A and B are shown apart, each in its own frame.
Chain A
């Protein structure tokens, strides 16, 4: 069955900045249509992991395969590999001197050498899907944070990537804009897009993930389906991490008890 063939396979990945070991022997597989959500404390290496997959960071050892081809061997041409890997960053980096449509078409036209009418039709369909077709001639500065991030997602999607990487894409958004961006990603999951998502939105992680990867200090501590991970985390570190998101209600009449503890 083709569904079992991994789109992305990482084997024993090591990454360090000078002396600081950020990723220490990480292995994982993403199958076609699978949604992996990577969570963990700050500095655990989750963003670095995404940047390594997209070749934005050199790695020290290990192997990354995309559809069975190694992309870490010296022969890999990163600009071609990246056309198959869509990435959306935390700081929605649209190109400020181009309008929405030009932003989206830059990759398809210049990197992929596609024809404008066909690429533009696809871009319009995608913009329509995220509810921004009427903004196609707007410039980034005329858009809200949530709108910019949706355009950034469309820009990555328009390259028809094999896999999408999301690096804390809602972390710098106002709360009321987080939802519109997460809804777009949920929509992608429904359509069977293969994705690796780094996020701090736990409710969203639970809703969208096929599998939760919990990272700490550069290694995968726990890897489980979302229900299992959030209900019965196996590791002590995962339990501690999840407790951060859990607030015990402290009511006035209980103040007395709390002080005694």
Chain B
């Protein structure tokens, strides 16, 4: 079999594996919310649930398909997924697809630049710190990123909000827009509102990636092929850029992909601090309210993102390192 054929087989196998994983996760997405204590209808009616007549409660259960046995709910759930129907929220008076569409675009607008900026920052500064291992530059950068790594998300975000928005008045105190703007003004307004949240997520995302890159680079500099490269008379910069970073890329791609998937849901704290309507708060609210359709819909989207990011990482792996995806893998 040719190398191209081997790679195609590798990708096909991966796709099969991902397909099975997707089915498994979809089933878990259905089961997990129902395994949690608490009832969505009781939660909907709140502390006055008992004061409602049982008929009202039964009608509400029937409306959301919760009056039938769990296995029938499961088959209905799978059937609706085949039609790409995510259902209707129990608590938010809106379709799940509509809710996700309204939130996901903002989350992506927040997360995508954060992952890219954070990753570039980590790759550049991590390489620099590893390259100049045990130098003052290394000490300063490592100390800085260690502080960021240990800093709770809410603290960093709140510090940025307090300093740059409250005290210096450079940025707004929250939300995605000021309201009432259109066209280019609207775009610039959104950018102005997203600068601090993106900085928060970028710094936090960069902090742990930095440490991995720095350690990888400093270790690789001791490898035989680097010694050989030096012996060939290559400059340190060329060794770093062409030979070392290439070897750091596979674990780095893996980290970046994973962080993208998790940041879609994990931006919750940043969303709360900056009063943003994103996927994090949507998922949090749904879990708190046991809003099964919203939870299922959000988890489905997250699953797709995590799997897509991993698949992309797998494919990029084989591009970054041709040995991956060949025979025996």
Q: Do A and B bind each other?
A: no
Q: Which residues of A contact B (CB under 8 A)?
A: none
